[in-house]
């Protein structure tokens, strides 16, 4: 028996597909020729904050919007095979990645794989046992300072040997209280095209 969430998603998809129309004719490359690397946070809707429609741009999402190896892999494919010519790195205020460090995450996982709880100051496991030490070997890419993390990610992408020097990379922070994206000028400077 399907969960309520599965039923809701399938019902929503049926309604979407019923009015799909000419979207079946969208080209594979993004029409507006750019990509966004941003956070997976459910409060962020890149289509709305960046004015996108289906087919306009690539949106790459992960926890924190960090320039992980996999995010860079996606950006390189976005350019090399699908022609994007400009990239954005957009982090956001009040990010969950600011609420823990690698050690906290690894220790929580070592104790239990069940969902942890947060009391506004500390993380804890309501259940104990069944954990795994593998979390100690993962870099979690947590965030201490948003401006610095955006600049670090833009710099990491800019310096990657598979990233062409002629692609500008812009750094921004989305404000979850106002909906505005605010430029991190230092990051954009680091991402300037050659």
What angle is formed at CA 169 by the lines to CA 52 and CA 159, rounded to 5 degrees? 145
CA-CA distance, 135 to 146, in Å (whole number)?
24
- Say if residue 132 carries a ligand binding annotation: no
CA distances to 55, 100, 102, 107, 138 from 133, rounded to whole Å, are 41, 17, 13, 8, 10
Say if residues 128 and 108 touch (Cβ distance below 8 Å): no
- Say if residue 95 carries a ligand binding annotation: yes
The beta-carbon contacts of 18-25 under 8 Å, at least 24 apart in sequence, are: 23/54, 23/55
CA-CA distance, 184 to 172, in Å (whole number)?
5
- Say if residue 39 carries a ligand binding annotation: yes
- Say if residue 141 carries a ligand binding annotation: no
Relative to beta strand 86-92, strand 34-39 is: parallel
In the annotated binding site, the residues are: 39, 41, 92, 95
Which residues are annotated binding-site positions for Zn(2+)? Answer: 39, 41, 92, 95
């Amino acid at each position: 028996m399907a969960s309520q969430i599965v039923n809701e998603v399938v019902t929503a998809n049926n309604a979407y597909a019923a009015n799909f129309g000419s979207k079946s004719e969208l080209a594979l490359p993004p029409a507006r020729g750019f990509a966004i690397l941003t956070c997976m946070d459910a409060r962020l809707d890149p289509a709305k904050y960046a004015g996108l429609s289906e087919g306009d741009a690539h949106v790459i999402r992960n926890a924190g919007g960090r320039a992980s190896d996999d995010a860079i892999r996606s950006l390189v494919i976005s350019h090399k095979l699908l022609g994007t010519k400009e990239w954005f790195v957009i982090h956001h205020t009040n990010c969950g990645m600011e609420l823990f460090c690698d050690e906290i995450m690894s220790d929580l996982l070592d104790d239990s794989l069940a969902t942890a709880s947060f009391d506004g100051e500390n993380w804890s496991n309501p259940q104990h046992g069944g954990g795994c030490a593998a979390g100690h070997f993962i870099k979690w890419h947590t965030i201490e300072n948003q401006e610095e993390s955006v600049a670090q990610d833009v710099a990491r992408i800019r310096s990657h040997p598979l990233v062409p020097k002629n692609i500008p990379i812009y750094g921004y922070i989305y404000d979850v209280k106002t909906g505005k994206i605010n430029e991190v000028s230092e990051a954009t400077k680091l991402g300037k095209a050659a």
